[in-house]
Amino acid sequence: MRALASLAAFLLAGACAREARPRFKEPIKLAGKMVAPGILNAGHVAYLQYCRACHGDKGDGKGPAAPGLRPPPRDFTQGSFKFAGVLDQKLPRDEDLVRIVRGGLHGTAMLTWDVPDQKLDEIIQYIKTLSPKWKEDDAVGDPVVPEPDPWGEARKAEAVARGKTLYHGFAQCLGCHPAYATKQEIYDASKASLGVGTTDFRDAMYLPEIKDSEYGVKILPPDFLFNTLRSINPETEGGDLYRILVAGVTGAAMPAWNPISLPNKEADIWALVYYLRSLLRMKGTPAAEKLHRKLASEPPFVPPPEAGK
């Protein structure tokens, strides 16, 4: 409550004390289109009202409410966005920024901000003046357009099993995220999908591995059995997961998967989606605790005789 009250105070201070003088006089070409100065000036005023408390006067993420926030508010002068959700880790389209602001980033201070549509569009145009990257041609990425799910309800169990094999084998998600399989299962998954059974396991493989990022902080990848995901809504979960896998999380170690780099292309992206959903379904249930405890207390792994040959 305290934190909320002081946040409200900051927002109000932002609204009242900061009278913004018009600063844009000419149209500017941003993300390939000319934006009129009136829109940018209005966006600046609305930005000060709604976003400044965290993202700062200069958009550098150093607003008065920012100290101590983990993850820290985005520095817009950097021109890099984790959840843009576009191809080739480029800059987000306007629709992507709307999705981020309307949906919030769960588990962070980036809540769902109730900004009127027109104001939000103005803010979005203004934010693009904060980094020169938006002036480059071709800076904005193409959307990720999911192919239809080839598995369907009838082949769900098969899809989950394929996803589990990819996660612990070919795609090596367990290098950063926790493993959710026994060492024998991981050995089998790597043998089936990579041709060689893994006998080398990272320490604390049933916990996430902390990673460096381009955002000045280290980031802990989520544990799908226990953590809230940032950019995924329960109602659009399947498409959201597909988008995250194909777009990656820019600047935060989470790679982008081009479907053509997977053995069964689109079907494998969808298999990973099915597998992740099966884990997310267990979140917060006793089954999640039970699986974690069972894996963490496994007896030492004895590699099968054929290993190493």
Question: Look-up: residue for tokens 């381009």?
Answer: 214
Longest dimension (CA), the chain: 75
Pick from 105, 160, 186, 271: which binds ligand HEC (CB under 6 A)? 105
Pick from 64, 175, 259, 304: which binds ligand HEC (CB under 6 A)? 175
Segment contacting ligand HEC by CB under 6 A, of 96-104, 149-157, 180-188, 189-197: 96-104
Give least dist CB 263 to ligand HEC, A.
13
Segment contacting ligand HEC by CB under 6 A, of 25-33, 110-118, 152-160, 295-303: 110-118
Q: Return d(Cα 151, Cα 161) in angstroms, integer.
A: 12
Residue 40 binds ligand HEC, judged by CB under 6 A? no
Residue 276 binds ligand HEC, judged by CB under 6 A? yes
Residue 221 binds ligand HEC, judged by CB under 6 A? yes
Give least dist CB 129 to ligand HEC, A.
13
Q: Return d(Cα 300, Cα 288) in angstroms, integer.
A: 22
Give least dist CB 238 to ligand HEC, A.
12
Closer residue to ligand HEC, CB minimum distance, 7 or 161: 7
Residue 280 binds ligand HEC, judged by CB under 6 A? no
Both ends of the chain: CA-CA distance in Å? 61
Pick from 48, 181, 241, 282: which binds ligand HEC (CB under 6 A)? 241
**What's the chain's length in residues?**
309
Question: Look-up: residue for tokens 């569009």?
Answer: 121
Closer residue to ligand HEC, CB minimum distance, 13 or 302: 13
Q: Return d(Cα 115, Cα 138) in angstroms, integer.
A: 28
CB-based burial label for 122 (10 Å; 0-12, 13-18, 19+):
buried
Residue 178 binds ligand HEC, judged by CB under 6 A? no
CA atoms within 13 A on the CB side of 82: 20
CB within 8 A of 199, min separation 6: which ones? 187, 301, 303, 307, 308
Pick from 35, 140, 171, 179: which binds ligand HEC (CB under 6 A)? 171
Question: Look-up: residue for tokens 């006089």?
Answer: 25
Could you tell me the CA-to-CA distances from 241 to 146, 251, 269, 280 in Å, in that order? 10, 18, 9, 11
Pick from 86, 229, 246, 282: which binds ligand HEC (CB under 6 A)? 229
Give least dist CB 153 to ligand HEC, A.
21
Hey, what are 42's tokens?
A: 């209005």
Q: Return d(Cα 39, Cα 120) in angstroms, integer.
A: 11
Residue 39 binds ligand HEC, judged by CB under 6 A? no
Pick from 35, 42, 109, 186: which binds ligand HEC (CB under 6 A)? 109
Question: What angle (nearest 5°) sits at the alpha carbon of residue 260, between those of residues 258 and 264?
Answer: 120
Give least dist CB 199 to ligand HEC, A.
20
Pick from 30, 31, 84, 179: which binds ligand HEC (CB under 6 A)? 84
Q: Return d(Cα 115, Cα 108) in angstroms, integer.
A: 18
C-beta separation of 10 from 64 below 8 A: yes
Name the site residues for ligand HEC (rule: CB under 6 A): 7, 50-51, 53-55, 65, 69, 71, 73-74, 81-84, 97, 100-101, 105, 108-110, 113, 115, 123, 167, 171-173, 175-177, 211, 219, 221-222, 229-232, 241, 244-245, 249, 252-255, 257, 272, 276
